[in-house]
Structure 1
Amino acid sequence: MEKVEVVVAHHERATLRVGDVFLKVDADPARTEAEFEAMTMAPIPVPEVLWRKPHVLALAALPGRALGRLGEPSTASAAAWAAAGATARVLHDAPLPPWPGASLDEKASSLDSECAWLLANDVLPAELVTRNRRVAEAALRPWTPVFMHGDLQVAHVFVDGDEITGVVDWSEAGRGDAMYDLASLTLGHPDHLSDVVAGYGADVDLDVIGAWWSLRSLTAIRWLVEHGFDPTSPGCEVDVLRSQS
């Protein structure tokens, strides 16, 4: 008899697996619809949508395994990481989705409020927050919008050998900065950045990628803590901040 596996669950959404079917349940049906539309538009491999109803998407499992996990060394090949970079480039070169992503002002406001929360609650040393905020500010510059996945972390990219079999979790997709996707993909895995860049091709700003590492980590910590995740685990967000100069 098949068992129900809880892949991830928090107050906003949950993903369950039953055999070869994934059920994504979202408290906001608009996010479910946007995720479906993004997968329909994306010119790269995505899971097959078996059916959808308000709040729920049923997706077929992808072959292969995740490219890696935050906090764990990746066993994927350099060619697989390069293929992930090439896949991101195909997405970024595609026509823009009709809905916007977070604006520059929204990102700046989020950085302000999250750094203030970290300092007010003594979550991290003030010097660590201040240093990373300075680094993060390099990401807050005008960008040419691309079709951005929005949460292109390694656990969302599936590979079989050296080939990408699909990309999952499109709930944050929209118009945004290409460097944010590349930073999300390599967060906690800086040793594979050169492979991703080789696959992606030209127009990569390494300083901006590093800035997004800091900004993404600073602005994620409160959400992670409030939803039962531990950003202080080895190799995760707090370690990323400590590694930034």
Structure 2
Amino acid sequence: MDQRTQDVQIVVAHSQRATLRVGETFLKIDGDPEHAEVEAEAMALAPVPTPLVLWREPPVLAIAAVPGRAIATLGEPSTSPPEAWRAAGTAIRTLHDAPLPPWPGRRLEDVRAELDQECAWLLGNGVLPPEVVRRNRDIAEGALRPWTPAFIHGDLQCAHVFIEDGGVTGIIDWSEAACGDPMFDLAILTLGHEEHLEDVLAGYGQDADREVIRAWWSLRSLQASRWLIEHGFDPDAPGCEFDVLRARMRDPLP
């Protein structure tokens, strides 16, 4: 019998979940079984390219690798051409125009409460200069308005969108999918890659609200910083969340 061994690669690992790669299979292990349930159902409902689910055995979800490469990496210059970013925008619009998933998303009041809590932590621990936190909190207010819910990915980082030959081959990591603000997805995709916002919107449609997207850049960066620090990531790495917050200091208030 021909027996071949394959290396096990740790893609990400922290106290909440871990993802391993074995050959062309990804094994996602999550302490919250609802995440795997949402991810599998969202991929089945989404009208965009998603990974194939190979099997599920809680707490493990096994999915196949998608072809291509990530459109970009946070903190690194993007080498993807404008047409790839436009294709990503078109795919996101297709998702946002799809029927809503049968589970709710986050409530506006919960987003506001969490943001205020995270800003208090940043100020209380001296993680960033107070003026950076307060200015971005003011900017973030622009995202805290009622929205018409859409089917959103919920964690549409640039590393989660795969491309090949200028087209989208797969969108991965759907555990945060829900009903939500479509501008949030556009903001997360372009966080740290703001120079490609207009390319994305060329594919998505010009009815997107650029000021709200910029407000979500501030909100997301403020809200995610403590989690990143506590789980071994560095939001102060070049091009990452702290740089996004500092860059907002040059923007006029809406």
TM-score range, shorter chain: over 0.9
Aligned to 2:19: 15
1:150 and 2:154 equivalent? Answer: yes
1:6 and 2:10 equivalent? Answer: yes
TM-aligned CA deviation for residue 202 of structure 1: 3.1
TM-aligned CA deviation for residue 31 of structure 1: 1.0
Identity percentage of aligned residues: 64
Q: TM-score, normalised by structure 1?
A: 0.99
* Number of residue pairs the alignment of both structures matches: 245
Unaligned runs of 5+ in 2: none
Aligned to 1:236: 240
Unaligned runs of 5+ in 1: none
Aligned to 1:181: 185
**Aligned equivalents of 1:161, 1:13: Cα separation in 2:** 32
C-alpha root-mean-square deviation of aligned residues, in Å?
0.6
Aligned to 2:208: 204
Matches within 5 A, 1:128-167: 128-167=132-171
Aligned to 2:40: 36
Aligned to 1:59: 63
Deviations for 1:161-210, whole angstroms, at most 9, x for unmatched residues?
Answer: 20100000001000000000000000000110000000001320000000
1:216 and 2:220 equivalent? Answer: yes
Q: Which runs of 4+ in 1 moved over 4 A?
A: none
Matches within 5 A, 1:23-172: 23-172=27-176
Aligned to 2:101, the other structure's residue is in SS state coil
TM-aligned CA deviation for residue 94 of structure 1: 0.2
**Aligned equivalents of 1:26, 1:127: Cα separation in 2:** 37
Q: Which amino acid aligns with 1:241?
A: L
Q: TM-score, normalised by structure 2?
A: 0.96
